[in-house]
Structure 1
């Protein structure tokens, strides 16, 4: 903290005193200090700068999302000061469905029915591992989409059969081309047997769930396209991504810089702030919530 004058100011005796109770209640545990840093620093940063600070150096544990709103006097509103637990995929899908039913009938129609228990068992047998729990929960809600669409920013969830097909194809390609080992210039191999592709980008890349044991198990990354796998700024898990999507649709804001829009036929699209058109057709900012 010595090299952070902004935090030194925030933790000065006059500013620290109101937050001693929070520290006493939650103790020296993961996320407590980070939460207090956000709350204190909010008094010394303009509101619009706070999201940039949290993204750059003030991350909380991945189980929490902070959505501070600042009163005119610069203080954090009490109802926004507490962390939010990440919802399970099934609950986030319920919230996404309700938003689509209200604002995007065409988007709602793209959701497949749930995968059957037999389909999930067959997939696990083909992959040789259990499906990630978040992915299984998601597939029990919707077995991917009927066609490629951006209900989720930058990727389209795959049906379980396509998950298996994509995994087999990437395993075959990697085996034939020495793609299962990292090259000197890449941090990751082109493919790994414990990467489960759950969604596909517009250019054919696979978003994978990393099932390798360790502290990063469950994280999301990109693979199976060009170069080694990429887990730069990866989501900690599928539940975190779906939670962020539901939060943006219901409460406003974006998902890592991408904001929801509606195209001319009511299709949901995600793009940078102030985007006005897609392929020459107008985009309108998506309504917030169910009103």
Structure 2
């Protein structure tokens, strides 16, 4: 498995804080100056491990106030000045125990001594002081750059992280997935990164706009091209014009000027039908003769009632 670089893990951390804990994101300090790092190395007489330098060149620690992003019980990451101040303080305390630790070899001192000369405190602990936190081994050797934990009430010990880059990668994963980091779950509340021990805190919900911004836009397949209709036959065009004209007439629109509109009332029929029915009916006028083509008997049509044709 490929371990992410310090910059890659910081990019993930910054993205999560910006989206969910804007207050905490705003308390990340700007990068440290390379000359400040070099001055700190000279003052302490050590060389900072590469992961520590990369992290300081990304953020020179954090601002210590309400909402400060922390590493759970391990507290906020230290800046260059904090590392120098804490390391010098703990070295002074460790000198009083030097005689008791004289029998330890160098590798044993890295892990079991109270505070070897090459150890650097890189976080300020849960109380934001030098009394506890995480440390790095700066001495060349098998433990170079390794991360350990220090509490003033117990003996120092190494963690499972072989370097600071591994710690930052696990921290970023815990933020993104809401999974435990050193036994605590990171959450966002009121724009701040907080830590929950018993999974009893309800995190801030995402707004609908926030959910929409994170959702992937669905891909809609393009509509198939419509077939282009060919030219209509003259008879079809005539039928289309008649259909449109009838629709306008039934809706009460006036017929175009100069066009004769036939009355199609079912009771009256067309003018031609009315003329044919008039010729077929017997005339009611006195002296009118029978219709042409009908047989008569004595002046009475053969199909009149009471007449029998033999």
TM-score normalised to structure 2 length:
0.57
Q: 1:274 aligns with which of 192, 199, 213?
A: 199
- Per-residue CA deviations over 1:129-175 (Å, capped at 9, x if unaligned) read 11111010000000001116343232210110110011111111211
Q: 1:165 to 1:180 in 2, by over 3 A?
A: farther
Of the three residues 169, 176, 183, the one matched with 1:250 is 176
Work out the CA distance in 1 between the residues paired with 2:121 and 2:63: 17
Separation of aligned partners in 2, 1:91 and 1:181: 39
Alignment of 1:113-152 (within 5 A): 113-147=30-64, 149-152=68-71
Alignment partners' CA distance in 2, 1:286 and 1:188? 45
Alignment of 1:139-178 (within 5 A): 139-147=56-64, 149-154=68-73, 155-178=75-98
Structure 2 vs 1, CA of residues 182 and 104 (structure 1 numbering), >3 Å: closer, same or farther? farther
**Is 1:191–1:223's contact at 8 Å kept on the other side of the alignment?**
no
Separation (CA, whole Å) in 2 of partners of 1:133 and 1:151:
22
Residues 179-258 of structure 1: pairs in structure 2 closer than 5 A: 181=101, 188-203=112-127, 204-223=131-150, 225-231=152-158, 233-258=159-184
1:87-109 superposed Cα distances (whole Å, 9 cap, x missing partner) = 11111111111111111111111
Distance 1:109 1:103 in 2: 12
Aligned pairs, number: 199
Distance (whole Å) between structure 1 residues aligned to residue 95 and residue 196 of structure 2: 36
Q: Which moved more, 1:218-227 or 1:89-98?
A: 218-227
Aligned-pair distance for 1:112?
0.5
For 1:24-43, list aligned pairs within 5 A: none
Partner of 2:54: helix, strand, or coil?
Answer: helix
List per-residue Cα deviations over 1:205-254 (Å, max 9, x = no partner).
031012233333222112362343222x4321110010011122234423
> SS at the partner of 1:167?
helix
Q: For the structure 1 residues 260 and 286, does the alpha-carbon distance in structure 2 shift closer, same or farther, using more than 3 Å as the test?
A: farther
Cα separation, partners in 2 of 1:162 and 1:237, compared to 1, 3 Å? same
Deviation string, structure 1 residues 170-202 (Cα, Å, up to 9, x no partner): 111211343882799x97111011111111211
Secondary structure class of the residue paired with 2:101: coil
Given that residues 211 and 217 in structure 1 are in contact (C-alpha distance below 8 angstroms), is that contact kept between their aligned partners in structure 2?
Answer: yes
Which secondary structure state, in structure 2, belongs to the residue aligned with residue 274 of structure 1? Answer: coil
Which structure is larger by alpha-carbon Rg, 1 or 2? Answer: 2
Q: How does 1:7-86 map to 2 (within 5 A)?
A: 64=1, 85-86=2-3
TM-score (norm 1): 0.61
- Seen in structure 2, the aligned counterparts of structure 1 residues 224 and 244 have a Cα distance that, compared at 3 Å, is closer
The CA deviation at 1:115 is 0.2
The residue number in structure 1 matching 2:268 is: none
Q: Is the 8 A contact 1:107 1:151 kept in 2?
A: no
User: In the TM superposition, what is the alpha-carbon distance from 1:273 to its structure 2 partner?
Assistant: 5.0
